[in-house]
Amino acid sequence: MGVSGPGALTARLDAALRAPGAALLLDLDGTLVDSEPTHRAAFQTYFARRGWDVTDQMLHAFAGRRGAEVFASVEGPWTGEDPMTLAHEVIACLDVGRYPAAPVPGAAESVAGWRGAGVPVAVVTSATEAWATAALELLGVADLGVALVTAELVEVGKPDPAPYRLGAEVLGVDAAACVAAEDTPAGLAAARGAGVGLVLGVSTSHDDETLRRAGAHAVVPDLTELVPR
């Protein structure tokens, strides 16, 4: 199911989310908040402390996925070390004061608008609960009843469909009645694999063609099109 033209897309999103039983499932990093500089700096700081030479391509492997799973599955200077320990040590290097995250345009308005319209919303992220909570506070929507599906709640992360299946389950809806927004191929694969009805690619981290090949029904530069009309 393709969606072409900004006007057609806006109308399709609005209709989908106003349908009975609809819900909104949103990725966090790169979709709701531009935290790439924050996370990239944390990885670079940690790798430098360890004296590891890590290429940009290797860093890119962590986009949209749980750090521990990448450490476990991608060969690198970390091979042989405990993946969970490595992930926690990278998290400890996050410096939001020096490398702050910024809201993606339309993110706060989309969450607040659809919650105000009575639509259930869940953030489905590979990040920790602590980071997800901080991001919702940054957006000013932490008190709007947004559900969280974080790294602690699933055994296998994106691109496995489990996080999105759990997101729909937590909200008590059918995944086919949901709209999802994602910025990475791993996240898009997870949403499509879970049977989400309309999957929006957000081109903050990857180009349009990459996102379409990964399964996005439509691609937008930010979440402005998702704001309820």
pLDDT in tens, 64-110: 677 888 899 999 999 999 998 998 898 888 887 788 889 999 999 99
Catalytic residue among 14, 27, 56, 207: 27
Do 135 and 46 lie in a common domain?
no
What is the mean predicted confidence (pLDDT) over 37-61? 89
Do 161 and 150 lie in a common domain?
yes
Residue matched to tokens 């901080």: 134
CATH of the domain at 22: 3.40.50.1000
Among 171, 150, 179, which residue's Cα sits nearest to residue 66?
Answer: 150
Residue 1 lies in a domain: no
Structural domains counted in the chain? 2
**Residue-range definition of the domain harbouring residue 201:** 6-35+101-226
Do 43 and 25 lie in a common domain?
no
Q: What is the mean pLDDT of the chain?
A: 93
pLDDT at 166 over 60: yes
Instruction: Report yes or no: 203 and 221 within 8 Å, Cβ to Cβ.
Output: yes
| pLDDT at residue number 27 | 98
Q: Is 29 among the catalytic positions?
A: yes
Q: What are the structure tokens assigned to 72, written together?
A: 């476990």
Do 62 and 80 lie in a common domain?
yes
Confidence label for 3 from pLDDT (cuts 50, 70 and 90): low
Is the pTM higher than 0.75? The answer reads yes
Do 136 and 79 lie in a common domain?
no
Do 146 and 220 lie in a common domain?
yes
Residue 121 lies in a domain: yes
Catalytic residue among 29, 34, 183, 222: 29
Do 106 and 200 lie in a common domain?
yes
